[in-house]
Amino acid sequence: MGVFVHICRDSGLQYWDVILGGNLMPYHDVLVIGGGLAGLRAAIAVNEMNASVGVISKVHPLRSHSVAAQGGVNAPLGNHPRGGHDSWKKLAYDTVKGSDFLADQDAVIKMATEAASRIHEIEHWGCPFSRTEEGKIAQRPFGGAGFPRTCYASDTIGHALLNTAYEQTVRFKQAAERRELAIYPEWLVLALVREGDECQGVVAMELKSGKLEVFGSGAVIFATGGSGRIYANTSNALINTGIGMAVPYWAGVPLKDMEFEQFHPTTLLGKNILVTEGARGEGGFLLNSKGERFLANYPDSQKAMEVAPRDIVSRNITREILDGRGFEGGGGYVHLDLRHLGREKIMERLHGIRTICLEFAGVDPITDLIPIQPGHHYTMGGISCNTACETGLHGLYAAGEVACVSVHGANRLGGNSLLETLVFGKIAGENAAKYVQGKGAAGKIGKAHERALKKTEEKIEGLLTRENGEDAASIKKEMTEVMAKKVGVFREERCLAEALACIKELRVRFKDVALRHRGRGWNLSLQMALELEGSLDVADAVAAGALSREESRGSHFRTDFPKRDDEKWLKHTLAFYSEDGARLQYCDVRPGPVRLEERKY
Amino acid sequence: MADATFKILRFDPDSGKGPYFQAFRVPLENKGLTVLDGLNHILENIDGSLAFRSSCRAAVCGSCAMHINGKHRLACNTQVSSLNTQSITIRPLAHLEVEKDLCVNMDQFWEKYELVRPYLVPGSPPPEKERIQSQEDREELNVVIDCIQCGCCYSACPVTLSSKEYLGPAALLKIDRFVSDSRDGAHVQRIEQADGPYGVWRCHNVFACQCCPKELDPPRSIAHVKRRLMRRRLLGGGK
């Protein structure tokens, strides 16, 4: 079972003594950080390669944000009557066009060619997909897709997929013939253990006790999801703070294309809870205050209408609201009309949406219009990695929303995020397991672990002992509001510069944060402050990238540079961490068979 | 608008004090204020030591189950206005060890989840593409797949308190989820497990578990499994 580490704290002094050969601290061949769909798929892949794996997750895996996915997952199965001519090539083409040509085409091709296998695999594992009349996996139309290829389970696909993946990890855990698969729920990872250019583990805090421990491993896979909570108006779960992006970023791994933040056209007015694109895929209309289907008035959406890609629909809704053709209140909104779909179709295919509308907005989609507004939804950028999910640091891998492979480029198509988690989760797991096996002996436990642990303990002690200082909650509120207001759907130089300056000021003020509670166990104030430090650095990378990119591409729309500029800007942004904030570099986009064209739907 | 009063059962094992109720005033600024919004308000503005779990804030992840004004429910989809009172009493989930305030130790709940082989045991080798399942067969799953493992039913059940081994409503519903799946090949073993001393017969038909935030019906599932068991006993063999 590899090397075990015994860690004991000298009660009088603030240092940690690491002794080899004890038996308290587990070592795993591979550690997976994050228990969502990408993390669980990665853990299964590691275990299938007969390597031991530990999954460290901030919440119980079934509480991960993957569970909230609604509409579906893309695969060119051709099960829909209009999908007979679909193919992986067409999925790849739609994805590249959807990305506004910023996606790396080798990565897109990898995802598209493996899509059908991954969907069939998870169906074999028991995923309760909805069915066609022939009993095949049902598919529905989605934005930016040439064919109806989004496989669904009513409108709760995330719940169906995540539960199925978790069920499989239980099966693997119980299988006597396999190496260990352990899950550490409610542990927050705060630092990487880095020795030279090699990643050798992580430092994590058990939330229940506040205890800090170092985990040793031969490889680490980050699968911690997006960073939506840097925005006030996000559909993301409260847990999506971006700390999982910040930890590798602090260790010198660049974040890629962070300025590309997806705004979902239809989030519920008020709490910005997601209302699936499937609602429009099934035939829902978007109406302005005059009751017009206004998407017909915009050249980039007049053909596809409600099933144009998300960046375009979000922009056009925002324009309607800004031009006074929306409704006032709560930042402005328009209506989503599902009434004509009828009770039966709504109950069969959109029952989750109906519950959300009833519980959180007091409207019944069967009889009422749904008040919706664009809201932050997805982080296209993330930890820079290649199609093998390898980052620049040996032994460090990334998969899912936290990663930027990049398959989504400047705008993700609906149904592609879940597909990415399944395809690249598996790839990351396999490659990490191979890497560890290739290294032969188990990873060494040594000075680097001790250092990382000590540094993190000092950080926590600093927060817990500071007497007077600012409240973390007020800094978080300012950050989320400035991001929503100034780094939103429409951007321009002055606003972005103001936002960046504000984030930089908040980063300085964070250094003087004092907590309202000094206990160790279940200290939510401490957890929030620790994560806020990461959120601020991620927000800084987003604002810096957005200010620097003087063009409009996909989700990044600059009113002062409204055209796409392939000559200057067909390249990825790489943000490197420094004390003063993100340092930007650029690298080429990997082209492929899909040629550049104007993006119209 | 007036303020609401949140009376919360506090407990910190490190403090050496026993559990006690503490009241907080929460402004009812908007009419959609949920109990979870109120807890976050208290945490960020009044008392940074308050502990509770939350994640999706949209009633799909099951983190924030607790006992609110006499009923086990989710904090995130319970609007203060729907409680028809400005006095809110909140306790942690019952029958489970309190770790701190509203956070309980869910280990025994998850152990029982794992006991029932909560994964598909296919009845045939995987075909090249998907397994075929008719729409009618798939419809059988509608009433059992939405479980978010929040623990409301488990904590509401009096039998889970008196019998530590009783599988409880959530795990029995999980058995029914696979027994109802036309693709599963372990129906017989599953209902045999439910036939054991801590299975469906341990249920005392109190129906307290009918408090599911997702409107699932564990007693229906328990009855469903019992019917299958009886049919098998009386008619022998088969599913």
Please give the pLDDT value at position A25.
57
A54: helix, strand or coil: strand
Distance from CA of A214 to the nearest CA of B (A): 23
Contact list, B51 vs chain A (CB under 8 Å)? 522-524
Distance from CA of A213 to the nearest CA of B (A): 20
Q: Annotate A293-356 with DSSP letters as a single string.
A: -GGGGSTTTTTTGGGS-HHHHHHHHHHHHHTT-SB-STT-BEEEE-GGGHHHHHHHH-HHHHHH
CB-based contact A217:A54 (threshold 8 Å): yes
Average pLDDT on B188-217 reads 96
Domain membership of residue B223 as a residue range? 107-235
Ranges of H-type helices in A175-240: none
Is the confidence at residue A356, as pLDDT, over 60?
yes
From start to end of A42-166, where are the E strands? 53-57, 73-74, 139-140, 150-151
Q: Do B100 and B112 fall into the same domain?
A: no
Closest-CA residue of B relative to A61 is B61
Give me A487's structure tokens.
Answer: 């780094």
Where does the pLDDT of residue A444 fall: very low under 50, low under 70, confident under 90, or very high at 90 and above? low
CB-based contact A445:A3 (threshold 8 Å): yes
Q: Do B227 and B132 fall into the same domain?
A: yes
Q: Do B144 and B226 fall into the same domain?
A: yes
Contact list, A158 vs chain B (CB under 8 Å)? 60
Q: Do B154 and B227 fall into the same domain?
A: yes
Please give the pLDDT value at position B1.
63
| Contact state of A136 with B44 under an 8 Å Cβ cutoff | no
How many beta carbons lie within 10 A of that of residue B148, not counting itself? 25
| Contact state of A60 with B48 under an 8 Å Cβ cutoff | no
CA A231 vs CA A209, A268, A511: distances in Å: 30, 15, 21
Q: In this predicted model, what pLDDT tens digit does every residue of A48-90 receive, in sequence order?
A: 999 999 999 999 999 999 999 999 999 999 999 999 999 999 9
Closest-CA residue of A relative to B47 is A516
Please give the pLDDT value at position A9.
34
CA torsion angle A29 A30 A31 A33 (round to 10): 180
Question: Of B104, B125, B144, which closes a domain?
Answer: B104
The yes-or-no answer on residue A340 being catalytic is no
Is the confidence at residue A521, as pLDDT, over 70?
yes
CA B166 vs CA A99, B65, B196: distances in Å: 52, 21, 10
Q: In this predicted model, what pLDDT tens digit does every residue of A277-324 receive, in sequence order?
A: 999 999 999 999 999 999 999 999 999 999 999 999 999 999 999 999
The set of residues, in sequence order, having a beta carbon less than 8 Å from that of A543 and lying 6+ positions away, is A483, A487, A496, A499, A500, A503
Residue B81 sits in a domain whose CATH number is 3.10.20.30
Q: Do B23 and B135 fall into the same domain?
A: no
Average the pLDDT over each of A4-8, A525-529, B146-150 and give the range with the smallest value.
A4-8
Is the confidence at residue A31, as pLDDT, over 90?
yes
Where does the pLDDT of residue A440 fall: very low under 50, low under 70, confident under 90, or very high at 90 and above? low
Contact list, B133 vs chain A (CB under 8 Å)? 131, 135
Q: Does B43 touch chain A (CB under 8 A)?
A: yes
Q: Do B111 and B226 fall into the same domain?
A: yes
Please give the pLDDT value at position A8.
31
Give me A277's structure tokens.
Answer: 């694109």
Mean pLDDT of chain A: 93
Question: Of B104, B138, B160, which closes a domain?
Answer: B104
* Closest Cβ opposite residue B48 in set A134, A238, A517: A517
Q: Do B100 and B141 fall into the same domain?
A: no
Q: Does B133 touch chain A (CB under 8 A)?
A: yes
Q: Do B219 and B134 fall into the same domain?
A: yes
Please give the pLDDT value at position A3.
31
Domains, chain A, ranges and CATH? 5-68+160-261+382-444 (3.50.50.60), 74-158 (no CATH), 267-373 (3.90.700.10), 451-588 (1.20.58.100)
Distance CA B158, CA B166 (A): 11
Average pLDDT on A389-399 reads 97
Is the confidence at residue B28, as pLDDT, over 60?
yes
Distance CA A150, CA A325 (A): 32
* Closest Cβ opposite residue A130 in set B63, B138, B146: B138
Q: Do B195 and B87 fall into the same domain?
A: no
Give me B91's structure tokens.
Answer: 């306790």
| Contact state of A128 with B59 under an 8 Å Cβ cutoff | no
Question: How many residues would you count in chain A?
Answer: 601
Where does the pLDDT of residue A7 fall: very low under 50, low under 70, confident under 90, or very high at 90 and above? very low
Residue B171 sits in a domain whose CATH number is 1.10.1060.10
Question: pTM for this structure?
Answer: 0.95
* Closest Cβ opposite residue B56 in set A67, A135, A362: A67
Q: Domain total for chain B? A: 2
Rounded to 5 degrees, φ, ψ at A34 are: 110, 130
Distance CA B108, CA B101 (A): 19
Where does the pLDDT of residue A11 fall: very low under 50, low under 70, confident under 90, or very high at 90 and above? very low
Q: Do B228 and B134 fall into the same domain?
A: yes
Average the pLDDT over each of A15-29, A40-54, A412-426, A575-589 and give the range with the smallest value.
A15-29
Question: Of B44, B77, B104, which closes a domain?
Answer: B104
Please give the pLDDT value at position B29.
80
Q: Do B93 and B177 fall into the same domain?
A: no
| Contact state of A130 with B32 under an 8 Å Cβ cutoff | no
The set of residues, in sequence order, having a beta carbon less than 8 Å from that of A41 and lying 6+ positions away, is A165, A399, A421, A422, A425, A426, A429
Where does the pLDDT of residue B125 fall: very low under 50, low under 70, confident under 90, or very high at 90 and above? very high
| ipTM entry | 0.97
The yes-or-no answer on residue A280 being catalytic is yes
Q: Do B14 and B127 fall into the same domain?
A: no
A447: helix, strand or coil: helix
